[in-house]
Chain A
């Protein structure tokens, strides 16, 4: 995380600002006006677009979610009906379940892989910088490219993965064309892309662990596993916490790779929540339901994040 301002420096600054403003009593009106104009000049280039393209759409989205609207004819007020309909709709439950299935596959994979890599790359070894750079390569690649590359690798008939499986005598599955294997395909591509990101975060965390802790544990006769379990993992818990929070937020909003790899199919097997929002808006022209669903998703993400922030006290150790 970025360095946050300490309360002491904030107070000092506030006092400083006040001192300057108050020097020699109340400043003359002309100067106050000029100061206000200066503040406005610095602030407005950001505040105007933020208002137009974030704050107003936020309010608009809440407003639309209370209406029935096909984007063409006038809106019709329906109150909370959209929300009620969504909660009773099996499609909503399925969309959330698919999203949860994605997270359940993706998060353990990317965390375990990232942790293993971070531990290995934390030691001195030849070409370490190059290796880190390579693992980070998929992180900078766009989702569309990653999804297309994996869709090709996992092509059931002529993909390379099934060919390689065939070499060792395994009859490869239909991957993204098979309802049972479509979600695992997306999970695989996603974990491949984000592995380097998790690795970098955990590496930064590992490097912050003081060496003395490990040495002390070794002197006390702790085995490698014990040192990992009782020294490394607890001291890494702030980074782990961060990875889990970010991954869950991103996981609930999964869309790009799904839209490119399967478009929610086959047979709706990968219809995740955001894909559902997209379908509602642009296929069914149900803007009200789409907005309501996106707010439901927001509420879930917010709730999950808040629960984690509260629960961190139990397992996150800040050295």
Chain B
């Protein structure tokens, strides 16, 4: 009996979780005039893709979608490369001051983004980079979190593996690329998911550095859309729905992995 009650509570909660998404989809299919109707209409008459058509007219949507995808992919790949390499150095290549340098990396983890925003903006302006892809990407190229996560993973790879490779005459680059990287694939995948999610959802920094619609990312485009179509919730929700779909697909493929790694690292 108590078990059934528990299941009922959890299932009801799940509906509360899903409902806003469902309502967003319904609203996005509702024709303009009926959106603000009371009582709300769950099966709107004349439902269709009108709001999506208006969305495409109002903002350069495909361009914005491309921007988000492009920035997300490039940022993730760059982070993976720079972090894995630095992690290898911190785990496998002893050098003077290594511990101190690693402490500097960890310290930067505690500094919130908003502390850096003004000088970063000024730096970008100095180099004429305001309103470019590079400006959005720049602060994500090096990831202290990634270096930390991957260093822990490399530290768990048995040293015997590299030593055998050294006997075969392999240098550090070959050990890194052909022995260490394949062995830390789960950690790399976890980090890739976090990196892509962070870039896909990031709002404050793009808001500061991007001015023109051609370089907008989805969160920016959406917020802008909301500013223009304050009462046309069907168009705003259409934008929200399309911006959720790509990350949702990614999540469905990697769900188990994402949840397991969040549980492990405690980070989102």
Contacts and interface: CB of A to CB of B under 8 A. Distances in A.
A141 B218 CA distance: 12
Contacts of B141: 46, 49, 53
Interface stretch (A1-9, A92-100, A102-110, A225-233): A1-9
Nearest to B35: A158
Contact of A9 (B3, B27, B119, B155): B155
B243 A145 contact: yes
Interface stretch (B44-52, B54-62, B108-116): B108-116
A158 B232 CA distance: 12
B243 A142 contact: yes
Which of A54, A60, A255, A281: most chain B CB closer than 10 A? Answer: A54
Nearest to A6: B155
A201 B86 contact: no
Contacts of B251: 137, 140
A246 interface: yes
A260 B236 CA distance: 12
Interface size class of B (residues with CB under 8 A): 35 or more
Q: Is the interface of A mostly helix, strand, loop or mixed?
A: helix
Contacts of A129: 256
B103 interface: no
B13 A117 contact: yes
A209 interface: no
Q: Is the interface of B mostly helix, strand, loop or mixed?
A: helix
Contact of A38 (B172, B226, B240, B255): B172
Interface residues of A, number: 101
A117 B24 CA distance: 25
A253 interface: yes
Nearest to A124: B3
28 contacts: A35-B93, A38-B172, A42-B86, A42-B172, A45-B82, A46-B82, A47-B101, A50-B142, A53-B120, A53-B141, A61-B118, A64-B122, A120-B9, A136-B258, A136-B259, A142-B200, A142-B201, A142-B219, A143-B203, A145-B240, A157-B38, A158-B36, A158-B40, A197-B268, A200-B262, A200-B263, A260-B226, A294-B117
Given A2-B265, A58-B111, A145-B222, 15 more contacts: A39-B93, A42-B176, A46-B147, A57-B116, A64-B118, A142-B218, A148-B222, A149-B21, A152-B24, A155-B233, A157-B36, A255-B114, A259-B207, A260-B226, A294-B114
